[in-house]
Every structure is written in structure tokens, then in C-alpha cells.
């Protein structure tokens, strides 16, 4: 035999707690006799059935709410105004209504009882203790409207977040597509052309092998040099694609600067960055900046400084080089730095120092707008 339950097991104890209002309302039956007692008891039973029905058959919530409001209105006007608090059951049912017109119709029905009570009191047909009823009226008037406004706001906010998420996905796809184009272009410009040259020289070597052995040997030597050059270029392409630790790049920069005879100073140790893609982009920026110092600055010292807060990371690369009367111009390396900073939604600034040298300053947000601390970025050269 199936065990009887007042409410579904998964609802827990909450429906039973709501019955406290119902038990309290039943106490008024002790002061009622005769037909009025039977009439009130039947209505209370019907109200309880409507309340229970909403848990077992949620699709009947609207009908149960309207029937309950009508029954409680009878009790309020013909038995006692104290039964007004039973309308809290009908109010709670409004939150389960999905269609707006059902919600607002139920809301209007509940508050129409309060309006009718006010009219009855104004006409002097009954004496109502408003100090007792006012809290319940305010609950029925304010709470559902505030909840509906909050629900509307949440729905709009979710739509905005969804649009932002879709926009971020489109941006990520564009970045990936651009990276694929860049890789394809690098492979075509390096690997493709070199392999074509090797193929041509191989055919020439084959034809000259017996006719002109010295020329064939020279061609084979050229093929060997091209193969080595191709291997080096492939390693550079792979190096640009792999994730790089910022600490590793700083150590590499230190070694490269020492080999070039440039003093190196790290003002502050780099912090741990949880987003590996962002760390790789910063590492590439350090690599490019140090390369520019070595190749173009004629500097004797280079300083790297980092300042981090909860919301932003500031990176500075500074040298004491000179331009020998030349105007400073941006090249491909500087353009690469700007593009990588733009991917991280950061800011970059190049400034010629008053005495000599150049200072590169980068500001990178730790958390981008509409994203999280673990946003990902496409990396590469």
C-alpha cells in the first residue's frame, strides 16, 4: 500500500512550516458556533486542499491561487478580517507562475481584497483594526511586485551576460582564425619556399651528378644549408606557439643581455600568474623588448620592473641607450608588442627618457570586463 504524504518528499520541511499560519487561523474556530462554524471549517479545508494541490500538481497553481483568494475573501468579509493573513498562501503561489499575465492577475486579485476592506471601513460597515492587518497588506502589496521586478532585472542581466559571452566567443574565434592565418603565412613564407628551393636544387643535382660533379656537389651543399636553415626556422615557429613561463623568459633575457655585454637588473621578482596564456603573452613581450634593447639601443644597462595589484599588473622595461641623433621609429617588434597588449585589453606606452634610453610601460588588467581572473587568450608570434 502506498504511503500517504501531505507533501512531496523532495520539498522537505518548508511546506509544513507554512502550515503554521493555517494552524493559527484554525484557533478562530473555537469562538464560532453553529452554521458559521461549519461554513468556516469547510472553507479552511478547501484552502488547505488548494495549498497542497500546488505541490503535487504545479500546473494547477494559478487555478488554486484564484480559488484560494476567493474563498479567503469570503472568510474576511463574512467571518473575520483576521483571516486576511491566509492570503499569504495565495501570495506565495504567485512566485511559481511563469506567465506574466497570470502573475499580475493573481496579484491584482489578492490586493483587491485589501482595497475592498478599505472601502468597507470608509463606508463604516465594519470596524477594522488596521494596526493588525497593515503588515499583511504591505507584504501582499510590496513583496510580489519587488520579486517580479527583481526577476525581470535578473532576466535582463542574464541576457546581457549571454550577449557578452557570445561576443567573447566570437572574439576568441577571430583570434584563433587570425592565429591560424599567421601560422599558415609563416609556414608558406618559410617552409614552403625553402622546400620548393630544395626540390629544384635536388633536380639540378640529379641532372649534374655525372655531367658536372663539382656543380652537383655545390648544389648538395646548398641543400644542406637550406635544410639547416629550415630546421632553425621551424624551431622558431614552434617556440612562438608553446606556452612560456615568465620566469623562464626573464632568466633567458638575463643570459642574452650578459652575452651582449649589457648589465641587467630585476627590480622585483615576477609574481605567479594563474592564467598561463596571459603569462605567455607577457613573456613574449619581455622577449621582444629585450631583443630591441640588444639590437637597436646601444645600451649598457637594462632594467625590468614589475608592480602588481589585485586588479592590474604594470611591467616596465627600461634601458640607457642612445639613438645617435636618429628619430625613434616603431618596427615590427613594437607592433607585435602592441598587438599582444591589445589581446589582454591592456595599455602600452613608449617614452624616450630625458637623459637617454627608452622606457616601455605596460598596464595589464588581472580581470577583464565581463570575464574572470582566468580569462584565456590566444598566444603566438
In the structure, what pLDDT confidence band is assigned to residue 361 with cuts at 50, 70 and 90?
very high
Could you tell me which of 50, 152, 60, 47 has the C-alpha nearest to residue 102?
A: 60
User: Same fold for the domain at 170-241 and the one at 246-365?
Assistant: no
Residue 360 has pLDDT above 80, yes or no: yes
Written as nine digits, the cell of 300 is: 649598457
Residue 101 has pLDDT above 70, yes or no: yes
Written as nine digits, the cell of 148 is: 517580479
Section 319-337 average pLDDT: 69
Determine the Cα–Cα distance for residues 231 and 220; give it in Å rounded to an integer.
16
Section 100-105 average pLDDT: 84
Q: Please, what is the end-to-end C-alpha distance for the chain in angstroms? A: 72
Alpha helices in the chain (DSSP H): 14-26, 34-56, 61-78, 87-94, 100-122, 130-186, 193-211, 213-241, 246-259, 276-296, 332-343
Section 345-357 average pLDDT: 82
Q: What is the secondary structure of 194-248 as a DSSP string?
A: HHHHHHHHHHHHHHHHHH-HHHHHHHHHHHHHHHHHHHHHHHHHHHHHS---HHH
Q: What is the DSSP letter of 315?
A: E
The percentage of residues in the chain with a pLDDT greater than 90, rounded to a whole number, is 3
Placement of cell 613594437 in the chain:
334
The percentage of residues in the chain with a pLDDT greater than 70, rounded to a whole number, is 85
CATH of region 170-241, choose from 1.20.5.1930, 1.20.120.140, 3.30.70.260, 3.90.226.10: 1.20.5.1930
In terms of DSSP bridges, do strands 301-308 and 263-266 run parallel, antiparallel, or are they unpaired? parallel
Section 181-201 average pLDDT: 74
Q: What is the secondary structure of 318-370 as a DSSP string?
A: EE----TTPPP---HHHHHHHHHHHHTT-EEEEEE-SSS-EEEEEEEESS-TT
**Would you say 168 and 370 are in contact if contact means Cβ atoms under 8 Å apart?**
yes
What pTM does this model have? 0.41
Residue 375 has pLDDT above 70, yes or no: no
pLDDT tens-digit map of 111-131: 888 888 888 877 776 666 666
Choice between 262 and 34, residue whose per-residue pLDDT is larger: 262
Fold observed for domain 246-365: Heat Shock Protein 90 (3.30.565)
Could you tell me which of 95, 23, 102, 15 has the C-alpha nearest to residue 56?
A: 15
Choice between 316 and 183, residue whose per-residue pLDDT is larger: 316
* The dihedral sign for the CA sequence 54, 58, 59, 65: positive
Strand partners, 318: 303, 359
In the structure, what pLDDT confidence band is assigned to residue 328 with cuts at 50, 70 and 90?
low
Residue 380 has pLDDT above 50, yes or no: no
pLDDT for the residue 239: 65
In order of 185, 216, 237, 284, the CA distances from 242 in angstroms are 18, 39, 9, 11
pLDDT for the residue 243: 65
At 374, is the secondary structure helix, strand, or coil?
A: coil
Residue 376 has pLDDT above 50, yes or no: no
In terms of DSSP bridges, do strands 347-352 and 263-266 run parallel, antiparallel, or are they unpaired? unpaired
Section 275-285 average pLDDT: 80
Q: Cβ–Cβ contacts within 10 Å for residue 249, how many?
A: 20
pLDDT for the residue 48: 87
pLDDT for the residue 377: 40
Q: What is the mean pLDDT of the chain?
A: 79
Residue 41 has pLDDT above 70, yes or no: yes
Domain locations along the chain: 9-128, 170-241, 246-365
Q: Greatest CA span in the chain, whole angstroms?
A: 130
Section 22-33 average pLDDT: 76
Amino acid at each position: 500500500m502506498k504511503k500517504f504524504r501531505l507533501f512531496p518528499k523532495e520539498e522537505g520541511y518548508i511546506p509544513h512550516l507554512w502550515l503554521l499560519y493555517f494552524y493559527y487561523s484554525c484557533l478562530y474556530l473555537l469562538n464560532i458556533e453553529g452554521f458559521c462554524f461549519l461554513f468556516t471549517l469547510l472553507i479552511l479545508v478547501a484552502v488547505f486542499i488548494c495549498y497542497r494541490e500546488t505541490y503535487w500538481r504545479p500546473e494547477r497553481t494559478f487555478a488554486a491561487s484564484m480559488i484560494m483568494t476567493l474563498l479567503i475573501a469570503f472568510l474576511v468579509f463574512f467571518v473575520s478580517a483576521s483571516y486576511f493573513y491566509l492570503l499569504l498562501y495565495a501570495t506565495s503561489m504567485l512566485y511559481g507562475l511563469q506567465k506574466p499575465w497570470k502573475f499580475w492577475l493573481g496579484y491584482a486579485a489578492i490586493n483587491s481584497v485589501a482595497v475592498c476592506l478599505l472601502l468597507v471601513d470608509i463606508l463604516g460597515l465594519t470596524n477594522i483594526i488596521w494596526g493588525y492587518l497593515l503588515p499583511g497588506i504591505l507584504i501582499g502589496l510590496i513583496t510580489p511586485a519587488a520579486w517580479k521586478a527583481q526577476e525581470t532585472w535578473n532576466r535582463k542581466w542574464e541576457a546581457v551576460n549571454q550577449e557578452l559571452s557570445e561576443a567573447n566567443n566570437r572574439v576568441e574565434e577571430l583570434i584563433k582564425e587570425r592565429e591560424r592565418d599567421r601560422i599558415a603565412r609563416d609556414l608558406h613564407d618559410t617552409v614552403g619556399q625553402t622546400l620548393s628551393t630544395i626540390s629544384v636544387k635536388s633536380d639540378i643535382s640529379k641532372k649534374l651528378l655525372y655531367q658536372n660533379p663539382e656543380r652537383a656537389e655545390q648544389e648538395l651543399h646548398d641543400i644542406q644549408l637550406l635544410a639547416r636553415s629550415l630546421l632553425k626556422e621551424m624551431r622558431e615557429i614552434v617556440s612562438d606557439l608553446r606556452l612560456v613561463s615568465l620566469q623562464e623568459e626573464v632568466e633567458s633575457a638575463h643570459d642574452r643581455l650578459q652575452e651582449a655585454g649589457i648589465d641587467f637588473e630585476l627590480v622585483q621578482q615576477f609574481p605567479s600568474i594563474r592564467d598561463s596564456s596571459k603569462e605567455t603573452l607577457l613573456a613574449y613581450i619581455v622577449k621582444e623588448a629585450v631583443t630591441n634593447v640588444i639590437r637597436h639601443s646601444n645600451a649598457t644597462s637594462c632594467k625590468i620592473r614589475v608592480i602588481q595589484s589585485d586588479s592590474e599588473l604594470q611591467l616596465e622595461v627600461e634601458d640607457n641607450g642612445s639613438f645617435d641623433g636618429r628619430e625613434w621609429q616603431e618596427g615590427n617588434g613594437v607592433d607585435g608588442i602592441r598587438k599582444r597588449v591589445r589581446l589582454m585589453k591592456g595599455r602600452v606606452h613608449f617614452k624616450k627618457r630625458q637623459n637617454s634610453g627608452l622606457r616601455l610601460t605596460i598596464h595589464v588588467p588581472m580581470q577583464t570586463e565581463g570575464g574572470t581572473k582566468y580569462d584565456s587568450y590566444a598566444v603566438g608570434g
